[in-house]
Amino acid sequence: MEYIVNGRFYDEVDRAVKTFLREEDGRKITVIHHNDADGICSAVLQKVMLEELNVDYELICVEKVYPEIIDKIHRERDGIFIYTDLGGLASGIIAEKTGEDCYSFIIDHHPAKDIQKDNVTILDPELAGISGDVFISASTLNYIFAQRVTEKIRDYAYVALLGAVGDYHDRYGGVLGFDRYVLSESVSLNQVEIRIEGMKEKYYIKKFGEYADVFSKRLTTLGSVGYLKKGYADGLRACFDGFDEKMMKKVKKLEEMKQKKFREEIERLNNGMNETESIQWFSVDKRFDPMGVKTIGEFCQQIKDMSFINPLKYLIGFQDIPKAVPDLGLLECDCVKVSARAPSTLERMILNGKVPGYDFLIPKASELVGGYADATHKIAAATVIHKGREEDFVNAMEEVLKNEDFKAC
């Protein structure tokens, strides 16, 4: 490979590929992928690779991995499991649910928990000291993986780039690191043209006559706003054939529905929300259906500095997780997604270390009510709890705040 970014990491990719090729022989493969642009592009690359291998496979699109989902996936299936654009932090449970005669691969670029188990392989740049948030998307990771399996994947280098741009890896003016390798591939293969606009690179996908950022935004809308209606399946198709008029209409309709639901909810919240000493919170219950639960995070982000928000209180939003997962059927648990954001004033206080951040509060509060935190940052976080425990969760957070020994952490 002419474009070597980090040789050691490629060694790990090769080891994972070798294990995969040894294990896949004739076994069914289940790909569990995320529902945003990067997750959709990852699924496309897996699909191309698995079809080249001529194996029996199934794609399952999920919004979040939490114990109930992982349990259902493994209870009903055997063979090989590929978790991608998700799963890094859930490696413990994935390992626990992976039967002895099964094998799981986690191909993720989010922070991950390393575990030692013979039939689980984690391929994650974060474990090799490479930031998955800056230098490599899940789609790029899947591209590099698949490249070691089949040459055919090179026809889809632009798909890997779409995923990287979907995760905003071009935010510093252009994609970097491993994502840039994928860019150089797609340029040299005549799939993409780099154009400069202002101080930023834009990637023109020749096949579709469109820019990567515009294209991938549509993928994310289809996958997240249209999640319960399997919008991601349209997204997958679009990566091969582009968007036709019908699909464009669909995207537009989804966008409009989101705006409408957001407006209605803001009106409702204008009449006040629940407050405790340090927390302001609300639940949209099922009102955001059929949008996926990613939308509650987006909604909190959008309202966090609006006039009806107390600038000094933590902001918590709840959204019911639908019991039906489109590709899986009914889940037994009744769960709620929790999104945490902070108004700008509080955000500054958190970042200055004056008050605890969500990376401290959310895992602790989740644990107290038997929840499952996965993505937690200082000023934004998400977790899953059981329905009916919303108020307990808020109270648990207050408890943690009262007993804060966070400075010692």
Using CB under 5 A, list all residues that contact Mn ion.
Answer: 38, 85, 138, 167
Nearer to Mn ion, 223 or 357 (CB): 223
Return the axis-axis angle of helices 7-24 and 138-147, rounded to nearest 10°. 70
Nearer to Mn ion, 203 or 314 (CB): 203
Q: How far is the CB of 164 from Mn ion (least distance, A)?
A: 9
Q: How far is CA 346 from CA 107, 314, 352, 355, 381, in A?
A: 35, 7, 10, 8, 14
Nearer to Mn ion, 42 or 278 (CB): 42
Nearer to Mn ion, 132 or 343 (CB): 132
Nearer to Mn ion, 369 or 380 (CB): 380
CA triplet 371, 78, 39: central angle to 5 degrees?
Answer: 60
Q: How far is CA 246 from CA 259, 319, 320, in A?
A: 20, 30, 30
Q: How far is the CB of 134 from Mn ion (least distance, A)?
A: 12
Q: How far is the CB of 268 from Mn ion (least distance, A)?
A: 32
Q: Are 325 and 331 in contact (CB under 8 A)?
A: yes
Q: How far is CA 79 from CA 18, 30, 323, in A?
A: 17, 8, 26
Q: Are 313 and 337 in contact (CB under 8 A)?
A: no
Q: How far is the CB of 109 from Mn ion (least distance, A)?
A: 6
Q: How far is the CB of 158 from Mn ion (least distance, A)?
A: 17
- Number of neighbours of residue 350 by Cβ within 10 angstroms: 20
| Residue nearest Mn ion by beta-carbon distance | 38
Rounded to an integer, what distance in angstroms lies between the CA atom of residue 195 and that of residue 197?
A: 7
Nearer to Mn ion, 36 or 185 (CB): 36
What phi, psi does 297 have (nearest 5°)? -65, -45
Tokens 């609300």 appear where?
Answer: 282
CA triplet 305, 309, 315: central angle to 5 degrees?
Answer: 90
Nearer to Mn ion, 183 or 394 (CB): 183
Antiparallel, parallel or unpaired: β 29-33 and 57-61: parallel
Q: How far is the CB of 138 from Mn ion (least distance, A)?
A: 4
Q: How far is the CB of 135 from Mn ion (least distance, A)?
A: 12
